Amino acid sequence: MSDKDRNQNEKAGNSRRTFLRNSGLTVGGLVLGGAVGSLFNVKSDSNAESADHKNMVSSSNPNQALMYFTPDQFKTVEALSETIFPKTESGPGAKELGVVYYIDHQLAGSWGLNTREYMTGPFYPAKAVPEQGYQTHLKRQQVFDIGIESINAYSTKKFKKKFQELEKEDDKIAILKDFEEDKVKLNSSLSSSFFFSILRSATIEGVYADPMYGGNKDMGGWKMKNFPGHQASFTNVLGKDKFVAMKPQSLNAQHKM
């Protein structure tokens, strides 16, 4: 940890203590339990904070905050997306690329609320054939809520731990496979494979969408694929026999107003 980071952490720790004190949730310096206590994971010594805590709160990127997920949902989806798109020799995984922030932000808006889709009833999810597509009355926010809940329940039943607490990669893969193959029953309006398919596509989107959406951190997804992002012209490149690698550019480069 650099000194600069440490200072920021300490400052953050102080302000959290100030918040807790001012909000009347501490009694004689003792933090009360419950949601807020576990959320902030407050220890008397800010340097002893868990690594998790630092990742969530100390980032200097203002885009990294939550619009939809609870902290616990955040952790589950972060672990799920990393299982779908893991860190490997060829580059960063979903966690490092901030995919979970992307999914969180997408769920908070039009996509999560299915605002540009036909969501008028009657709904017949059980009678539909798969080729008829999306037929549940549930919006994507609810699909994720139920999906996350179910995946943790299934994980707890199988391995006595929530999904994000699983240590073995194989256990995580086994759970996701069962979801993908519809081996887990969620409810009559939502199948586990349907949740999986949305989770998978959202993860891929978060890896490769323009970084302004919160994922693809530092264009790390594009760099892996040698995708140059937004460029004005490839007229001088496309006819070439050799592969031409270029420094990628996000839409931010276009935004000169």
- Interface with other proteins (CB under 8 A): 83-86, 88-91, 93, 110-111, 114-120, 122, 124, 127-135, 173, 176, 180, 200, 203-205, 207-210, 213, 221-222, 224-235, 237-241, 243-244, 251, 254-255
Classify the phi-psi angles of 28: left when phi > 0, otherwise alpha if psi is within -120 to 50, otherwise beta.
left
Tokens matching residue 125: 């999810």
Three-class DSSP category at 187 = strand
Nearest to 52 by CA among 35, 34, 69, 40: 40
| Minimum CB distance to other proteins, residue 125 (Å) | 9
* Cβ distance to other proteins smaller for residue 48 or 118: 118
| Minimum CB distance to other proteins, residue 216 (Å) | 9
| Minimum CB distance to other proteins, residue 11 (Å) | 35
| Minimum CB distance to other proteins, residue 74 (Å) | 20
| Minimum CB distance to other proteins, residue 99 (Å) | 12
23-31 long-range Cβ contacts below 8 angstroms, 24+ apart: none
* Cβ distance to other proteins smaller for residue 4 or 240: 240
Distances (CA, A) of 226 to 153, 198, 206: 39, 26, 17
* Cβ distance to other proteins smaller for residue 16 or 95: 95
Q: Distance between CA 194 and CA 136 in Å, rounded?
A: 10
Q: Which residues pair with 27 in a beta bridge?
A: 30
* Cβ distance to other proteins smaller for residue 3 or 89: 89
* Cβ distance to other proteins smaller for residue 75 or 105: 105
Tokens matching residue 100: 């979970």
